[in-house]
Structure formats: C-alpha cells, structure tokens
Structure 1
Amino acid sequence: MSRVSSARSVVPAPDPLGESLHLLRLTGTLYCRAELSAPWGIDVPSLEGLMTLQVITAGHCWLEVDGAPPMRLQQGSLTLIPHGTPHRFRSSARARTAPLFEIPVEQVSDRYEIMRYGGGGEVTHVTYAAMRFDHVVARRLVAQLPRVLHIDTWDDEDTGWIHSTLRLISREALTLRPGGETIMTRLADVLVVQAIRSWLGSSPEAGRGWLAAMRDEHVGRALSAMHRSPERPWSLVSLAREARMSRSAFAARFTELVGEPAMHYLAESRMQLARAHLQQTSEPLSDIARRVGYGSEAAFCRAFKRAFGVPPGSVRRGAPATEHAPRAGARP
C-alpha cells in the first residue's frame, strides 16, 4: 500500500516546450499526392499563414527555398517549410518550372487531390501537405523555426522513428484505399511535430530567445502557467511564485530570455488568443473577455482596440485586425 501511495504522489516534471508542441493543433488545409515525370518543375508562391510538409515517397528531386541553398531530395526525405516561403521543385537543377496554380489536378475531396504532371520520363512521387496552426503559442514556436527543416531519413540512423511512418504514407499515397485521406492527415501531423522535435534536439538556434525561455527551469514554469490559464488574474508576484523566484529576479530573467517584460507578454498573448476566438467562434464578447482574463466586456473592448486599432466586434466582420490570420482553403 505504501508503494502505491508513493507512486501516486509523484508529480511529473513540467514540460513547457512539450505543452507548446501539443498546442500546435495543426489543421490540414490540403493534402496532395503528386506523380511527377521528368522533366518537370513547379513554382510554389508565398502561402501566407501556412506551413508545408513534403515527403519524397519515390524517386528524387531538387528543392529551392528562397533564402536557402538548393537541396537534392532523395526517397524518404522530409522537408518542412514553416513560414509559407516561396519555393520550387524540379526534376533536375535546370528544369523549367510552371506556376503551381496553372497545373491541373484531380480533386478527390475538399482536402485531398492528385497531381499528374511532367514530360513522361523518370517518375518522382511527392506527398505534399499544407496546414495552418491556430494557437497563439504555436505561432510563437513556429516563428522560431528556420526557413526550411530537412530530414534525410534513410541516411541518418538517429531518425529511425520516421521510417515506419513514411512507409505508411507511401502506401496510402500510392493506393488511395478507403480512409486514406484520414490516415494521411494524421500521419502528416505526426511528422510535423516529430520534425520540429528533431530540430529542437539538434539545432543551436533552438537554445535561444523564446525557446530558451520555455526550457528554463523557472521562466518556463511561468510561461506554461500563463499559456494554460490566461484567464487567471496574474500579477508579477503570482507569476514569480509560479517560477519559484523572487519578484525582482523573475522580472529580470523573464525580460532577458523572452525580450519583453512578463506583463507585456501576458497582455499580448491574451489579445492574440482573443482575436483567434473572435475569428473562429461565435462566442459572445463577454465570454471571450472572461476567457482571456478581463472582468468586464468594456475593459476587454478597450484593451483590444488599443492592441489592434479596431473594436473586437469588427474582427468578426473581417476588418483589418484579421490581417495576419491564415487563409483557409488556399491550394499549395
């Protein structure tokens, strides 16, 4: 009995960064199975607010992302373009490209399509997914990512976790059996999170700025508490208590790591979260106000207008405060 009681009393160590990955809440906008025969080239424009995932399930190709050197992608390669940056795929380094939206596709469903394109030569199969992320914490995490993440799964034994997932994606993409769209959606979500985890564990950039703050033993606790419960009446004192630090030490360390004071971060996060609720739900303003920590609708409306220059009601009508929202349904 004592051993059972002892086991039940164990409290898991906080994992603020893990919670952030959970909050990614990726929403599949479109999944495309591309069958491309050489010579071929595709020019993908800027896809604002969207993240794209590419998996080479057969063959090989070149990927060019604006601001990064060209990459030769082999079968099994996975790339993630987090910021909707323009990019190009080619069968060879000199192959001519066609604008993406001028290439015909077979629309299987609202979320899934098949592209067959090229000159009839050697075939490359690409599974391509475009998705968006809705939570304010996810946007902060994604903002820290590089222009392109590349994992060559067949050459790197450290990324063995991805092999079985790629095989499943390849099988679903090539056979399109009943339920294939759902399976590919779930697998793509897993691959995005795994790709980010791989980058977090290997890149020096992952130890700077907001990501470093999330990993900090003390500041990470406070950030996690804010993200988890934005409605609580937080103060610098209560946040310092969550961080297990003195008020002055916490204030200084938070600003040093995050780049802004804790209460400013909290206010901005609340406003971003409120804007997302306004855009995505029909909740009354009073309920949204309480959800983000405001005791009255009037106080919330004043704070929102200071932050975005327009009243919260106008956001639902598509006014300027929606300018950074991802566009749903845009075909990559």
Structure 2
Amino acid sequence: MDATPWDGRDRVARVLQTLRMRGVFYCRSELTEPWGLEMPAIAGSVSFHVPTVGSCWLRVDGREPVELRAGDLALVPHGLGHEIMSSPEIRSSARVDLLPQHFVGPHYSILQHGGGGRATQLICGVVAFDDLAAQELVRGLPSVLTVRGDETVMAASVRDTLRLMADELTRAQPGAEAVATRLSDILVVQAIRAWLAHDPSARDGWLLALQDDRIGSALEAIHANPGGDWNLEQLARTATMSRSAFSARFTGIVGEAPMAYVTRWRMNLAAGRLRDDRATVAQVAAEVGYQSEASFTRAFARTIGTTPGAARRQALSVPDGG
C-alpha cells in the first residue's frame, strides 16, 4: 500500500505546476533508412523525441539502445548527448546541428536526411527550465524516460497533445514555436507523472525528501522564503523535530546537510537572478539572505565556482535560446 502522505503528494504537484520551459530548439525530421543522428550535449537541457511515422532507436551514453515506435515519447534529461538511428546496428552518426536543414525560424528547423529507404518522421525538441524546484526534480530523473503510446499512462489527452504539436510544427504557422513550447510543458509533465507513478526509483533522493511529511515541510519553507534567516534550529522547528534528528534525517534523504542545501539553493537562485542586468549584486545578495555583499560573494564563489560578476558576464554573453 502507498503510505505517502497526501501533503507530500501535494508538494510534488506544486513542483510539477512550476514546470515552465524555454524552447531552445525544435526540429521536424523526415528520415529515410539508413540513417543515424548524433544529438550533442547541451548543459541544463532536456531533449524529447516523438516518432510520428515509423520507428527508430535511441542510444544514450553507450547504453543499450531503446526502440521508439510511432506515438512513443522519450525524454533525455541532464543535457546528455545521445544518438537516434534507424537500427541499433548503425555505428556512424551525423551530428544533427551540422547537417543542412531548412530553418523556418531562429529556433525551429526541418531536416531531411538518409539513404532513401523506409521513412521515419520525428518531432524533436530541446527545452530548459529556469525554476529551481523544477531543476531539482529533473536532476532525479533517469538518463532516459520513455512513455509508450500504447500504455494506459499515455492518456488520450497526451496523444492529442502529441498530435497538436506535430500539427503546429508541420504546418509552421505564425507562433508555432510558442505553441510548441507550451505543449512541451504538458508532454514533459505527463512523462514525469507517469514515471512517478510507476517507477520505484522515483521515491529516492530529493523527491523522497519532498514527499516526506517532516523534511518536505522544511524544504518547502526554504523554497518559499530563500532569504529567510534560516538556521538549523529554525528548520528543525519547522519539521517539528529535534535538531540532531532533523539533521540526520535530512542529510540521509537529501544527501547533504540542511544548511549546505540552504546555501546551494540560495546561490543557484542568485545565479539565475544575475542574468538580469538590472539587478545589482547587492540587491541579489539581500534577496537570498545576505546583508554583506562580501560574504555573499565568498559563498557564491565557493558554491558556484566563480564570482557573481563573472557569472553575470558569462550569462549575458550567451544568447537566450528561449
């Protein structure tokens, strides 16, 4: 019997509600056997692939390839490079971003490639999350997450979403990229919900902590008020536990000490805020609970590996894919 408290499930539901993505790139591919495509690694992204006609194989990080049939949905989280090919025997793949293709817009292309044999059509996308809770959730996903089109978890509404996305990207109407990004939200949420419901490994690490009645309440308090004057005693009180019991339980489930988690959460939030050149370092420091800009800079450099100013310059030098 599932003993997970309902409030724990509600916390996961609230995280799923934050899953709003930036569409980095979309591609509609028309492929004929034999063919193989290499998808390069893109840090901080999630790739998805949906065959709409025919079938293909997906291989990640040298693992055994997975067959995808028309209507299946595959997610490749963690920005991992991977290959898609017409058969598992294909050993030579062309890097997809170096192939000639027709760019319908700055973030959407049509690719025609292959040897002239049996046809496969694919809708592929690369998306990214800005919300920190969503990023933590994605960190816990497996290297490949597959939802089969004929499984009961693939509800009719999801199949309808896939058809809508294919229609938007096939006809390339004005605003197709924006619509596809919103539909991507739905697809990714549905795939993660299916994984949460059916994969025992989903009850581990940060997700397990979020669903834990006591640790989850502390996590949600941190997320709701990252700039709060948090210390171990206050967090333990939020979880209605003693300091020693809370610290041991938090560290055992989350994998890091409570105050280390607070610092990492704050610094990742600050890194996101520094992309906005209108916010000063002092303002960002105050938002995440630091009265001293110098102490914030030291914590940021220790956690992120660079200074706030350098992180801002790097972020502003990279064009936004959204």
Please tell me whether Structure 1 or Structure 2 has the larger radius of gyration of its CA atoms.
1
Query: Which string of whole-angstrom CA distances, capped at 9 and with x for unpartnered residues, describes residues 3-43 of structure 1?
Result: xxxxxxxxx94632223333443211011111112222212
Tell me which of 165, 168, 188 is aligned to 1:169. Answer: 165
Query: Is 1:239 aligned with 2:230?
Result: no
Q: Kindly report the root-mean-square deviation, in angstroms, between the aligned alpha carbons of the 2 structures.
A: 2.4
CA contact (8 A) 1:49 1:326 kept: no
Once the two structures are superposed, the pairs formed by residues 74-113 of structure 1 within 5 Å of their partners are: 74-95=69-90, 96-113=92-109
Q: Which moved more, 1:84-93 or 1:69-78?
A: 84-93
Q: CA deviation at 1:309?
A: 5.0
Give the counterpart letter for 1:137 in structure 2.
A
Query: Which string of whole-angstrom CA distances, capped at 9 and with x for unpartnered residues, describes residues 205-232 of structure 1?
Result: 1111221111101110110110121011
Closer, same or farther: CA 72–303 of 1 in aligned 2, 3 Å? closer
CA contact (8 A) 1:134 1:276 kept: yes
Give the counterpart letter for 2:168 in structure 1.
E
Once the two structures are superposed, the pairs formed by residues 23-34 of structure 1 within 5 Å of their partners are: 23-34=18-29
Equivalent-residue separation in structure 1 for 2:296 and 2:121 (angstroms): 50
Equivalent-residue separation in structure 2 for 1:138 and 1:67 (angstroms): 27
CA contact (8 A) 2:236 2:243 kept: yes
CA contact (8 A) 1:21 1:193 kept: yes
Closer, same or farther: CA 26–326 of 1 in aligned 2, 3 Å? farther
Query: Is 1:44 aligned with 2:48?
Result: no
Once the two structures are superposed, the pairs formed by residues 9-28 of structure 1 within 5 Å of their partners are: 13=7, 15-28=10-23
Equivalent-residue separation in structure 1 for 2:249 and 2:104 (angstroms): 52
Q: CA deviation at 1:64?
A: 1.6
Query: Which string of whole-angstrom CA distances, capped at 9 and with x for unpartnered residues, describes residues 125-184 of structure 1?
Result: 11110012223333322221111001111x212321421111212222332233322221
Equivalent-residue separation in structure 1 for 2:305 and 2:173 (angstroms): 50
Query: Is 1:293 aligned with 2:307?
Result: no
Once the two structures are superposed, the pairs formed by residues 1-332 of structure 1 within 5 Å of their partners are: 13=7, 15-95=10-90, 96-153=92-149, 155-160=150-155, 161-318=157-314, 329=321
Identity percentage of aligned residues:
42
Closer, same or farther: CA 50–238 of 1 in aligned 2, 3 Å? same
CA contact (8 A) 1:81 1:149 kept: yes
Closer, same or farther: CA 326–62 of 1 in aligned 2, 3 Å? farther
Equivalent-residue separation in structure 1 for 2:128 and 2:152 (angstroms): 30
CA contact (8 A) 2:46 2:128 kept: yes
How many residue pairs get matched? 313
CA contact (8 A) 1:48 1:327 kept: no
Closer, same or farther: CA 308–147 of 1 in aligned 2, 3 Å? closer
Give the counterpart letter for 2:240 in structure 1.
R
Q: Which moved more, 1:309-318 or 1:216-225?
A: 309-318
For residue 3 of structure 1, what is the aligned residue in structure 2? none
Q: TM-score, normalised by structure 2?
A: 0.89
Q: CA deviation at 1:47?
A: 2.3
Q: CA deviation at 1:328?
A: 5.0
CA contact (8 A) 2:7 2:213 kept: no
Query: Which string of whole-angstrom CA distances, capped at 9 and with x for unpartnered residues, describes residues 42-72 of structure 1?
Result: 1222222221011111111122222432122
Give the counterpart letter for 2:218 in structure 1.
A
Give the counterpart letter for 1:230 in structure 2.
P
Structure 2 gaps of 5+ residues are: 1-5
Closer, same or farther: CA 175–302 of 1 in aligned 2, 3 Å? closer
Other structure's SS at 1:227 match: helix
Equivalent-residue separation in structure 1 for 2:181 and 2:93 (angstroms): 28
Closer, same or farther: CA 76–310 of 1 in aligned 2, 3 Å? closer
Equivalent-residue separation in structure 2 for 1:99 and 1:77 (angstroms): 23
Q: TM-score, normalised by structure 1?
A: 0.86
